[in-house]
Protein backbone atom coordinates (compact mmCIF):
# COMPACT_ATOMS: atom_id res chain seq x y z
CA UNK A 1 0.00 0.00 0.00
CA UNK A 2 1.36 3.37 -0.99
CA UNK A 3 1.06 6.50 1.13
CA UNK A 4 0.46 10.11 0.08
CA UNK A 5 3.94 11.22 1.01
CA UNK A 6 5.52 8.80 -1.47
CA UNK A 7 3.21 10.02 -4.23
CA UNK A 8 3.97 13.62 -3.36
CA UNK A 9 7.71 12.97 -3.60
CA UNK A 10 7.63 10.93 -6.81
CA UNK A 11 5.40 13.42 -8.61
CA UNK A 12 7.09 16.55 -7.17
CA UNK A 13 3.81 17.84 -5.77
CA UNK A 14 3.44 20.96 -3.67
CA UNK A 15 1.38 20.34 -0.57
CA UNK A 16 -0.91 23.28 0.23
CA UNK A 17 -2.51 22.06 3.46
CA UNK A 18 -2.85 19.17 5.94
CA UNK A 19 0.78 18.01 5.84
CA UNK A 20 0.04 15.98 8.97
CA UNK A 21 -2.16 13.64 6.89
CA UNK A 22 0.42 12.73 4.26
CA UNK A 23 0.95 9.35 5.92
CA UNK A 24 -2.48 8.27 4.68
CA UNK A 25 -2.72 5.15 2.58
CA UNK A 26 -4.10 5.43 -0.93
CA UNK A 27 -6.52 2.83 -2.32
CA UNK A 28 -6.55 4.04 -5.90
CA UNK A 29 -7.08 7.04 -8.11
CA UNK A 30 -9.93 8.91 -9.69
CA UNK A 31 -9.57 11.62 -12.33
CA UNK A 32 -12.26 14.06 -13.36
CA UNK A 33 -13.67 17.54 -13.18
CA UNK A 34 -17.41 16.94 -13.13
CA UNK A 35 -18.47 16.88 -9.50
CA UNK A 36 -21.52 14.69 -10.14
CA UNK A 37 -19.33 12.02 -11.77
CA UNK A 38 -16.87 12.10 -8.90
CA UNK A 39 -19.74 11.69 -6.45
CA UNK A 40 -21.10 8.76 -8.44
CA UNK A 41 -17.92 6.85 -9.24
CA UNK A 42 -15.00 7.56 -6.91
CA UNK A 43 -14.24 5.48 -3.83
CA UNK A 44 -13.05 6.06 -0.27
CA UNK A 45 -9.28 6.35 0.05
CA UNK A 46 -8.90 7.49 -3.59
CA UNK A 47 -6.62 10.28 -4.59
CA UNK A 48 -8.78 12.58 -6.69
CA UNK A 49 -6.98 14.23 -9.61
CA UNK A 50 -8.73 17.34 -10.92
CA UNK A 51 -8.16 20.80 -12.28
CA UNK A 52 -11.11 22.25 -10.38
CA UNK A 53 -10.09 24.65 -7.61
CA UNK A 54 -13.50 25.78 -6.47
CA UNK A 55 -14.36 25.22 -2.81
CA UNK A 56 -17.06 22.67 -3.67
CA UNK A 57 -14.34 20.10 -4.43
CA UNK A 58 -13.62 19.83 -0.72
CA UNK A 59 -17.22 18.97 0.12
CA UNK A 60 -17.14 16.20 -2.48
CA UNK A 61 -13.79 14.85 -1.30
CA UNK A 62 -14.96 14.88 2.32
CA UNK A 63 -18.20 13.11 1.51
CA UNK A 64 -16.43 10.44 -0.51
CA UNK A 65 -13.63 10.18 2.08
CA UNK A 66 -10.85 10.75 -0.43
CA UNK A 67 -7.29 10.49 0.84
CA UNK A 68 -6.33 13.75 -0.90
CA UNK A 69 -6.97 16.01 -3.86
CA UNK A 70 -4.30 16.57 -6.50
CA UNK A 71 -4.89 19.78 -8.44
CA UNK A 72 -3.24 19.67 -11.88
CA UNK A 73 -1.94 22.18 -14.43
CA UNK A 74 -0.40 24.27 -11.68
CA UNK A 75 -3.81 25.74 -10.83
CA UNK A 76 -4.04 27.70 -7.58
CA UNK A 77 -6.71 26.51 -5.15
CA UNK A 78 -8.86 29.39 -3.95
CA UNK A 79 -8.31 30.59 -0.38
CA UNK A 80 -11.75 29.35 0.65
CA UNK A 81 -10.92 25.94 -0.80
CA UNK A 82 -7.78 25.68 1.34
CA UNK A 83 -9.63 26.85 4.45
CA UNK A 84 -12.30 24.22 3.99
CA UNK A 85 -9.75 21.50 3.21
CA UNK A 86 -7.86 22.36 6.39
CA UNK A 87 -11.07 22.05 8.37
CA UNK A 88 -11.89 18.70 6.76
CA UNK A 89 -8.31 17.43 7.03
CA UNK A 90 -8.00 16.75 3.31
CA UNK A 91 -4.54 17.46 1.87
CA UNK A 92 -4.51 19.44 -1.37
CA UNK A 93 -1.43 18.84 -3.50
CA UNK A 94 -0.61 20.84 -6.62
CA UNK A 95 1.10 19.44 -9.72
CA UNK A 96 2.46 21.48 -12.60
CA UNK A 97 1.88 18.57 -14.96
CA UNK A 98 -1.23 18.08 -17.06
CA UNK A 99 -4.01 15.74 -15.94
CA UNK A 100 -2.88 13.02 -18.36
CA UNK A 101 0.73 13.09 -17.17
CA UNK A 102 -0.19 13.14 -13.49
CA UNK A 103 -2.59 10.24 -13.86
CA UNK A 104 -0.10 8.30 -15.99
CA UNK A 105 2.60 8.54 -13.33
CA UNK A 106 0.22 7.93 -10.46
CA UNK A 107 -1.11 4.84 -12.23
CA UNK A 108 2.43 3.47 -12.55
CA UNK A 109 2.96 3.98 -8.82
CA UNK A 110 -0.31 2.31 -7.88
CA UNK A 111 0.04 -0.58 -10.35
CA UNK A 112 3.78 -1.29 -10.43
CA UNK A 113 3.35 -5.02 -11.16
CA UNK A 114 1.84 -4.24 -14.53
CA UNK A 115 4.88 -2.47 -15.77
Partner 1 sequence: MSPRNEYDSYLQGSYEVHGRDFVDAGLVSSQIKKGLKAKGIDEDIIRRVAVLTFEAEVNIISYADHGTVSYYVLPDSIIIEAIDTGPGIEDIDLAMQEGYSTADDSIREMGFGAGMGLANIKKSSDILDLTSEPGRGTCVKCTIMLNGKVPNGE
Partner 2 sequence: MTLAEVKDLLEAKVVVGDDKLDTKIHTAFGADLMSDVLAFARAGCLLITGLSNLQAIRTAYALDIAAIVVCRGKPLTDKFVEIAGELGIPILWTPLIMFEVCGRLYREGMTGCIREIRIEDKRSVSQE
Judged by the rule CB under 8 A, the positions of this chain that interact with partner 2 are 28-34, 37, 41, 49, 51-52, 73-74, 96-101, 103-108, 111, 114-115
Q: Minimum distance between the CB of residue 34 and partner 1, rounded to whole angstroms?
A: 6
Question: CB under 5 to 8 A by kind: which of partner 2, partner 1, none does 99 bind?
Answer: partner 2
Q: Minimum distance between the CB of residue 64 and partner 2, rounded to whole angstroms?
A: 14
Instruction: From residue 75, give the alpha-carbon distance in Å to each of 39, 70, 72, 108.
Output: 22, 10, 6, 23
| Helical (H) or strand (E) element with 107 | helix 99-110
Instruction: From residue 65, give the alpha-carbon distance in Å to each of 4, 88, 89, 115.
Output: 14, 10, 10, 29
Question: Which pairing describes strands 14-17 and 25-26: parallel, antiparallel, or unpaired?
Answer: unpaired
Q: What single DSSP character describes residue 37?
A: H
Binding region for partner 1 (CB under 8 A) out of 33-41, 80-88, 93-101, 107-115:
33-41
Residue 36 touches partner 1, criterion: CB under 8 A: yes
By CB under 8 A, name the binding residues for partner 1: 33-36, 51-54, 56, 75-76
Amino acid sequence: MIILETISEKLSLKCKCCWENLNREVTGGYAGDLLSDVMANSAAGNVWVTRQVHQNIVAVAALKEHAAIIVVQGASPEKETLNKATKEGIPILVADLSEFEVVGRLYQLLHPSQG
